[in-house]
Amino acid sequence: MTTQPGQTTPDPSPRPRGRGRRPADEVRADVLEAVGRLMLSEGMADLTFERVAKAAGVSKTTLYKWWQSPGALALDGYFHAVRATLSFPDTGNVREDLRDQLHHHRQVMAGPGGRALLELIGASQTDPDLARAYRALYSSGRRELAYQRLTRAKEQGQIREDVDVRVLVDQLWGAVYHRSLIPDEPVTPEFVDALVDNLFDGIRPPEQKPASS
């Protein structure tokens, strides 16, 4: 089976419980790995504490101690699964770095990872715990990575001093989310390239040189 970027091959079999008490970091990592697999292969519709506990080889009490709701757990596992794929590059060329990151984002959104994220966004409208976790763990964190990269580009003279980099983030990633949430038009590689090119090249026609007399 072909996997999407950030996706691992699902392994629905539960982890065997080992003897003795495992370190908390190890237990948490096992839980996040199990949830990430489930999110990218099936989404969050049937994600319950009971199912995750069985898949990760932990108790439900452990899950309740760390996550306030199945939605918050689903988001944490999703972020764990796609974090490496959606990391922000810095090659010194901000135009190409934005293009590269947006293409990775498009690939994730086009597969099971995208469907899982849209489910999380929808569920957060009625789950306050999930809404807070989404802003703290995913939305705010990813925005901050983009702000930092664009700010460095401004300091290097690749972006004008008067440009608000927070607006640039909404222009680029907002357009991708819009097409993902309202799929009248697909999020294609050509669309991503056009977003970056329009941003850096502008949309105003070049000024005509005056005709020589």
Give 124-166 pLDDT, tens digit per residue: 999 888 898 889 888 888 899 999 999 999 999 999 999 999 9
Q: What is the pLDDT of residue 1?
A: 43
**pLDDT tens digits along 186-198:** 999 999 999 999 9
Measured CA distances, 3 to 6, 39, 105 (Å):
8, 13, 15
Q: Give the pLDDT confidence of 76-101 residue by residue, as tens digits.
A: 999 999 888 888 889 999 999 999 99
5-61: pLDDT as tens digits: 444 444 545 555 444 577 889 999 999 999 999 998 888 888 999 999 999 999 999
Q: What is the pLDDT of residue 84?
A: 84
Against a cut of 0.85, is the pTM above it? no
Number of neighbours of residue 193 by Cβ within 10 angstroms: 13
* DSSP code string of 155-181: HTTSS-TT--HHHHHHHHHHHHHHHHH
